[in-house]
Chain A
Amino acid sequence: SQTIHQWPATLVQPVGSPLSLECTVEGTSNPNLYWYRQAAGRGLQLLFYSVGIGQISSEVPQNLSASRPQDRQFILSSKKLLLSDSGFYLCAWSVLGTGGRTFGSGTRLTVV
């Protein structure tokens, strides 16, 4: 069966520090991968998606970047965090042709 792992669950980082959130998927090949951010009481904002290794599409200009070094690994990064980067970050995957996304458990990032 397919599983998605996202870590850490919570993270408190000072302004100006770097960020690296990792997401891995097991049990499937060549998944579409997504990073979403969710502000408190808000919907899901798509940040990045990837249809293959090294292929990253960015939805909104921001202080973040994403990379896909391996087929089932998706990394969200920042060189210098801003206060506005605080939020709940969710990784998700889907298989081309199905559309439905399976979400990870999320990372609560607080930038102080």
Chain B
Amino acid sequence: GIQVEQSPPDLILQEGANSTLRCNFSDSVNNLQWFHQNPWGQLINLFYIPSGTKQNGRLSATTVATERYSLLYISSSQTTDSGVYFCASWDSNYQLIWGAGTKLIIKP
């Protein structure tokens, strides 16, 4: 089955810094997604990005499906970007397979 690995597991940055989070997946996927969970537990979808590049404000994501990885870029980090970032993909049983997450702490 599909396996999803994220790196780094933890990241601590100063406000204003840029960051790159990586998601590797073990099998060909066409429905890679990125989520953010804030410190209070709310999970929201950031990007649905099976391939190519998308941008939303200071965040952008790129998926290279043929090489089985996706990257999430955060520019000019703010303290509100803190939380855990997950990537996930649907498997053939219509379940989301989740990575373990990258915990991001942005210091003021």
Whether A associates with B in a native complex is: no
